[in-house]
């Protein structure tokens, strides 16, 4: 069982990323052969500053390591260090429908937010994401709920490649050239919402500042953000996404961070007021993030050590990716017979 996932180096990783993805990465590294990467190339699809990008990669890498990724248990690297991802992207583009890319919600949202140039790489972003996973023939992809459409597309791309280039048109099965991967979504916490606008997902680009809790926020800031969190009419602490989106989000955060079920949270706070409940959620989050922040402060300053970890990971990743690219080239008739 091979697991792959990627995370953008925005550096301002939030509680949604932490609960929806980073915690699952740590969990999955115990379950099989796990491969994780910081996707610096994806970060170049929207306006950015090159020097800041490098810093953000270190920030993100240090957060993941601080959260518990262990380079001895998983392969952890920077996407741009493994050129097989970009070559695979081009090869897969030939079996990716323009119409499918044109239907991607994230492209529409992000393109709509650009003031000037909308890059073509923002449009083909999902093909690079498909290449990230398919080049390792990974089986499972732990992600948050917002990546569902991208995962569906990567499955279609794999199936189309297998049907078009697989020997005898073998579209699936173990002898197919590409593995059709499955998205893995956390049962509780795959979609953490903005604390100020709980019908929108928590996000540093599309959410509100006060409603977005950052992994590196000071405890006081975290407490303030939860204290100001929007709750709903009534006073009952009950999980109901439609009628009580604010309270439900807080229940999910508490349940995920404490590792308990919704109804246990409802029971625990049956007689509590909203204010007390918000205080308890803030405390649980502060407690959960404290050791991560502490470890981050130790790891982040040593950029040479971070580089060493990423470089060692990239060497291992390349060794796994190269044979898939070689096979894809051969099946597609690119270059001399292998
Ligand atoms: P990114 O960097 O935006 O987010 C990283 C992970 O965090 C999850 N996530 C959330 N989970 C729960 N609640 C939220 N509010 C929330 N916001 C974000 C995301 O679903 C993601 O799992 N395109 C990807 C990066 C990527 C990738 C890949 C992922 C590139 N190549 C290959 C998997 C496989 C992205 O932008 O994630």
Instruction: Quote the ipTM score.
Output: 0.99
Q: What is the CA radius of gyration of the chain?
A: 21
- Which of the two residues, 110 and 82, has the higher pLDDT score? 82
Query: Can you say which residues are annotated as belonging to the binding site?
Result: 8-10, 16-17, 132, 144-146, 192
Listed residue (249, 139, 251) closest to 184, CA to CA: 139
Listed residue (165, 203, 288) closest to 17, CA to CA: 203
CATH number of 219-298: 1.10.240.10
Confidence band (pLDDT; 50, 70, 90) for 186?
very high
Out of 144, 152, 241, 285, mutate this one to test ligand 1's pocket (max ligand atoms within 8 Å of CB): namely: 144
Give the pLDDT confidence of 217-252 residue by residue, as tens digits.
999 999 999 999 999 888 899 999 999 999 999 999
C-alpha 17 to ligand 1 mean position (Å): 7
Rounded CA separation 305/39 (Å) = 19
> Residue 173 has what pLDDT?
66
Confidence band (pLDDT; 50, 70, 90) for 131?
very high
> Residue 233 has what pLDDT?
86
Partnered with residue 77 across adjacent β-strands are: 37
Residue nearest to atom 4 of ligand 1 (CA): 7
> Residue 171 has what pLDDT?
54
Average pLDDT of the chain to the nearest whole number:
95
N residues, the chain: 338
Other CB atoms within a 10 A radius of the CB of residue 195 amount to 27
> Residue 277 has what pLDDT?
96
- In sequence order, the 6+-apart residues with CB closer than 8 A to the CB of 310 are 38, 57, 61, 76, 77, 78, 81
Residue nearest to atom 29 of ligand 1 (CA): 6
The residue-averaged pLDDT of 62-89 equals 98
Sorted by where each begins, the domain ranges of the chain are 2-185+302-332, 219-298
For tokens 């439609």, name the residue.
Answer: 242
pLDDT greater than 90 at residue 11: no
Asked if residue 65 has its Cβ within 6 Å of ligand 1, the reply is no
> Residue 157 has what pLDDT?
98
Rounded CA separation 176/162 (Å) = 6
Lowest mean pLDDT among 25-39, 113-127, 164-178, 323-337: 164-178
Rounded CA separation 329/148 (Å) = 28
- In sequence order, the 6+-apart residues with CB closer than 8 A to the CB of 336 are none
CATH topology of domain 2-185+302-332: Rossmann fold (3.40.50)
Asked if residue 132 has its Cβ within 6 Å of ligand 1, the reply is yes
Give the pLDDT confidence of 153-179 residue by residue, as tens digits.
999 999 999 999 997 655 556 689 999
Give the pLDDT confidence of 306-324 residue by residue, as tens digits.
999 999 999 999 999 999 9
Asked if residue 190 has its Cβ within 6 Å of ligand 1, the reply is yes
Give the pLDDT confidence of 266-317 residue by residue, as tens digits.
999 999 999 999 999 999 999 999 999 999 999 999 999 999 999 999 999 9
> Residue 334 has what pLDDT?
97
- In sequence order, the 6+-apart residues with CB closer than 8 A to the CB of 44 are 53, 121
Q: Is the pTM of this model over 0.90?
A: yes
């Amino acid at each position: 069982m091979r697991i792959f996932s990627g995370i953008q180096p925005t550096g301002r990783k939030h509680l949604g990323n932490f609960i929806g993805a980073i915690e699952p990465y740590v969990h999955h590294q115990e379950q099989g052969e796990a491969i994780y990467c910081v996707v610096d190339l994806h970060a170049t699809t929207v306006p950015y500053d090159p020097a800041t990008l490098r810093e953000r990669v270190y920030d993100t890498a240090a957060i993941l390591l601080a959260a518990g990724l262990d380079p001895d248990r998983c392969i952890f690297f920077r996407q741009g260090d493994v050129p097989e991802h970009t070559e695979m992207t081009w090869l897969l583009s030939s079996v990716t429908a323009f119409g499918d890319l044109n239907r991607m919600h994230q492209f529409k949202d992000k393109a709509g937010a650009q003031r000037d140039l909308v890059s073509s790489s923002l449009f083909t972003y999902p093909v690079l994401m498909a290449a990230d996973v398919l080049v390792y023939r990974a089986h499972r992809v732990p992600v948050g709920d917002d990546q569902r459409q991208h995962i569906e597309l990567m499955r279609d791309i794999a199936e189309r490649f297998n049907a078009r280039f697989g020997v005898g048109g073998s579209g699936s099965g173990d002898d197919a050239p590409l593995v059709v991967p499955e998205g893995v979504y956390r049962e509780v916490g795959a979609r953490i919402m903005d604390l100020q606008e709980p019908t929108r997902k928590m996000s540093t680009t599309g959410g509100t500042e006060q409603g977005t809790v950052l992994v590196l926020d000071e405890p006081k800031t975290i407490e303030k953000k939860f204290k100001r969190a929007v709750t709903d009419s009534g006073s009952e602490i009950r999980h109901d996404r439609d009628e009580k989106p604010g309270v439900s989000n807080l229940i999910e955060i508490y349940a995920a961070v404490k590792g308990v079920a919704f109804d246990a949270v409802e029971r625990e706070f049956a007689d509590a007021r909203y204010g007390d409940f918000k205080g308890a959620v803030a405390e649980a989050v502060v407690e959960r993030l404290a050791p991560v922040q502490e470890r981050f402060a130790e790891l982040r300053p040593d950029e040479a050590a971070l580089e060493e970890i990423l470089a060692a990971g990239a060497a291992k990743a390349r060794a796994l990716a190269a044979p898939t690219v070689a096979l894809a080239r051969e099946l597609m008739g690119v270059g001399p017979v292998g």
